[in-house]
Amino acid sequence: MMRTNYNNWPSDGQSVDQQRDALAGTSGADGAAFTAALAAGPASSAFDKRTGVSVRLHRVSSNIGNAQSVSLFTDANERNKVGAMTVAPGRNSLRILSIENLGRSRYKGVGTAMIEVADHTRQSAGLSKLSLLSQDEGASAFFYKKGFRFADEGKNAEMRTVISNPRYVSDEILMGEMER
């Protein structure tokens, strides 16, 4: 299982739980709208690489202070968890605090489904941006392909080169703040 955390801005030295607590009460977003949007998001699906069949992803969410935790399962009985994400509103953006793709070896589309849920939630809560701190170069490439951009234009140019030419080895560390 690979877990990648995308820390929030309060402090790099804080745990994800401390960051969630730091976010409590800092958003101008309507909390009820935020919770409702997360629960009512678009239907999601993933492609099962073993069977070649598209499977519906079932969403379960819960509150953690001002943040929301979302888990995706391939069955309604919540037995096969394939993805998890924690998001929180703040500074006119929806911040992805953590995201886990637990089913990446078997299912294609779980990461995309989580980004779609986050984007729907952002839009429904009236927030203008979706943001994260990428701490993995492979994840940075995935997020770049999904429309996220680094704050540093030099990193964006380097990422375009890496994506268009997979044999190219970059000297640039392609991790950091990203938003769309």
- State residue 41's pLDDT score: 66
- State residue 28's pLDDT score: 43
- Regarding whether 97 and 28 lie in a shared domain, the answer is yes
- Regarding whether 148 and 158 lie in a shared domain, the answer is yes
- State residue 30's pLDDT score: 52
Backbone torsions φ then ψ of 123, nearest 5 degrees:
-65, -45
- State residue 116's pLDDT score: 94
Q: From CA 165, how far away is CA 146, in angstroms rounded?
A: 18
- Regarding whether 108 and 148 lie in a shared domain, the answer is no
- State residue 20's pLDDT score: 45
Task: Label residue 81 left, alpha or beta by phi (over 0 means left) and psi (-120 to 50 means alpha).
Answer: beta
Backbone torsions φ then ψ of 163, nearest 5 degrees:
-70, -40
Q: Is residue 44 a contact partner of residue 59, using CB atoms and an 8 Å limit?
A: yes
Provide the token pair at 46: 């993933």
- Regarding whether 43 and 131 lie in a shared domain, the answer is yes
Q: From CA 83, how far away is CA 115, in angstroms rounded?
A: 11
Concatenate the DSSP letters of all residues of 120-146 into one string: HHHHHTT--EEEEEE--HHHHHHHHHT
- Regarding whether 170 and 149 lie in a shared domain, the answer is yes
Q: Residue 153, SS3?
A: helix
- Regarding whether 107 and 31 lie in a shared domain, the answer is yes
- Regarding whether 84 and 151 lie in a shared domain, the answer is no
Predicted model pTM: 0.76
- Regarding whether 122 and 40 lie in a shared domain, the answer is yes
Across the chain, how many H-helices and E-strands are there? 5, 10
pLDDT by residue (tens digit) across 8-44?
334 444 454 544 444 444 444 455 555 566 556 667 8
Alpha helix segments (H runs only) across 11-152: 16-23, 31-39, 110-124, 137-145
- State residue 33's pLDDT score: 58
> Could you list the pLDDT tens digit for every one of the 180 residues in the chain?
334 443 333 444 445 454 444 444 444 445 555 556 655 666 789 999 999 999 999 988 888 888 999 999 998 887 899 999 999 998 889 999 999 999 888 999 999 999 999 999 899 888 999 999 999 999 999 999 999 999 989 999 999 999 999 888 888 889 999 999
Domain that holds residue 52: 4-135
Backbone torsions φ then ψ of 38, nearest 5 degrees:
-65, -40
- State residue 85's pLDDT score: 95
- Regarding whether 79 and 47 lie in a shared domain, the answer is yes
Q: From CA 112, how far away is CA 31, in angstroms rounded?
A: 25
- Regarding whether 154 and 127 lie in a shared domain, the answer is no
- Regarding whether 78 and 21 lie in a shared domain, the answer is yes
